[in-house]
Amino acid sequence: MTPKVLAIRRAPATSARSLGANRKLRHGQIFRPAGLALLCFALLTGCSTHSLSLFHPKGPIAATELHMMIIDAVIMLGIIIPTALLVTWFLWRYRASTSRGSYDPNWSHSTTIEVVVWSVPLMVVAVLGYYSYKGVYEVNPYHPTVIARKADGAPIEVDVIATDWQWLFIYPKQHIATIDELVIPAHTRVQFHLTSAAVTNSFFIPELVGQIYVMPGMPTEQAMMVSDPGTYRGFSAALSGPGFSWMQFQTRAVTERKFARWVAHLQNSPRHLTFPAFDQLARPTINVHQTPQYYSHVQSGLFDHVIEEVRMGKVFTTPMAMTAHM
């Protein structure tokens, strides 16, 4: 069990603010006590706070998403808890076994109450709708305003291709590629282009960025930025077949210098990635230990090539042997 003190130090609102990425995040202060309460509730049923990855955002997008969650939960709890209390009170007070409640056998209408019960939720939805609308732009995968404002310098571009059942990360500018390991510099905008060679997956690094689907035959985009160097778990969050549970990857956010060294190192990797080599690696594979692989000299245009091939009807068929009686 981690001591509670630690939990409070790492409370979501605090870490969100410490980012300083977004002035709006100060709202977090208002909701901080409630956020803590929520965390404590989670703690009651949970064990280690380290695992509550959603409460430890390490990038502006995840932080905004957490912030949204707290706003929404607090507002909703503000109406759900009183309702629950009201019901409980009625249940207690008007139970038949006491004569305390004043029984009124025909009372079944009150215009005042009707007006209130329709209009209060309406107002609450209006508020939530406003936040939701705002949030949609802040974390819009194609153009997240929480990052755009900060972005200076050229972003790192990464093309992500999901296969059955591995992740291929291509750095098109650097002509290198990795499997099941994503390495990026911290404090830099990372621009993802994503597609799949086989079936739909969902690209997700909880502490850094929310999900986006990775679909065959079409590209999607995602942008993110890491505020703390470290290692974060990424994985597919959409069922894609037998190898799905093992479709994970490590995200290592490192300093600019380390990143440059890593790239240079990889560029000397003996294995090259050509179109035919891709066809080999994209065959159905369960990478049980997520062992990373590295490639250099990635044939340029591989990402578009994969999309084009899928559009032309290319499939990486799951062999019957992987399904029958497994």
Partner 1 sequence: MLVHLQGPWTPLIGRLALNQIPYDNPVIVGAFIFSVAAAAVFAGGVTYTGRWEYLWRNWLTTVDHKKIGIMYILVGMVMLFRGFIDAAMIRTQQVMAVGPQSAGHLGALHGYMPPYHFDQVYSAHGAIMLLFAVTPILVGLMNIIVPLQIGARDMAYPYLNAVGLWLTTVGAALVMLSLFVGDFSHAGWVGLTPLTELPYSPGVGVDYWIWAIQISSVGTTLGAINLIATIVKMRAPGMIWSRLPVFTWTAMATNIIGLTAFPVLAATLFLLTLDRYLGTHFFTAGMGGNIMLYTDLFWVWGHPEVYFLVLPAFGILSEIIPTFSEKPLFGYTAMVFASLIIAGASWMVWLHHFFTMGAGPLVNAYFSIATMLVGIPTGVKVFNWAFTMYRARMRFDTPMLWAVGALFLLLIGGLTGMMLAVPAIDFQVHNSVFVIAHFHSMVLLIAFAIMGAISYWFPKVFGFKLDERLGKRVFWYWVVASIMVFVPMYTLGFMGMTRRLDYISHPSWLPLIVLEEIGIGLYWVALYYQVKQIYVSVRDRRKYRAGPDAWWTTRSLEWMTHSPVPFYNFAVTPVVHARDEWAWRKEQGLTSLRPDRYQDIHMPKNTPVPLILGALSFALGFGLVWRIWWLSALSITAIVIVLIVRSFDSNTDYVIPAAEVERMERQGSGASGTTDTGRYPADHTAGKRRFRAARPQNR
Partner 2 sequence: MGLPKIKIADLDAETLWNDGHRTIDVAASDTTVLWDSSHHEHDAISTRTFGFWLYMLSDAMILAALFTAYAVLRHNYAGAPTAAQIVHPGYAFRETLLVFSSVLAFGLTMSALKQGSRAGVINGIVVSFLIGAAFLGMEFHEFSGLISQGITPERSGFLSVYYAIVLVHGLHMVFGLLWMAVMVVQIMRQGFTDNVVYRLLNLKIFWQFQAVIWVCVFTVVYL
Query: Residues in the site for ligand HEA, rule: CB under 6 A?
Result: 79-80, 83, 121, 124-125
Binds 73: which of partner 2, ligand CUA, partner 1, none (CB < 5-8 Å by kind): partner 1
Q: Is 197 in the site for ligand CUA (CB under 6 A)?
A: no
Asked whether the beta carbons of 307 and 217 are under 8 A apart, the reply is: yes
Residue 31 — φ and ψ, nearest 5°?
-90, 5
Burial of 80 (0-12, 13-18, 19+ CB in 10 A): exposed
Binds 79: which of ligand HEA, ligand CUA, partner 2, none (CB < 5-8 Å by kind): ligand HEA
Total residues at interface with ligand CUA (CB under 6 A): 3
Interface with partner 1 in residues 52-91 (CB under 8 A): 52-55, 62, 64-66, 68-69, 72-73, 76-77, 79-80, 83-84, 86-87, 90-91
Nearer to ligand HEA, 80 or 315 (CB): 80
**Is the backbone of residue 187 left (phi > 0), alpha (psi -120 to 50) or beta?**
left
Per-position DSSP letters for 171-221, written without gaps between them = ETTTTEEEESEEEEETTS-EEEEEEESSS-EEEEETTTEEEEEE-BTS-EE
SS3 for 292-303, per residue?
CEEEECCCCCHH
Interface with partner 2 in residues 291-320 (CB under 8 A): 311-313
Nearer to partner 2, 208 or 310 (CB): 310
Place of tokens 């507002």: 75
The one segment of 103-111, 210-218, 233-241, 286-294 that binds ligand CUA by CB under 6 A: 210-218
Provide, rounded to whole angstroms, the least separation between the CB of residue 83 and ligand HEA: 5
**Residues binding ligand CUA (CB under 6 A):** 213, 215, 218
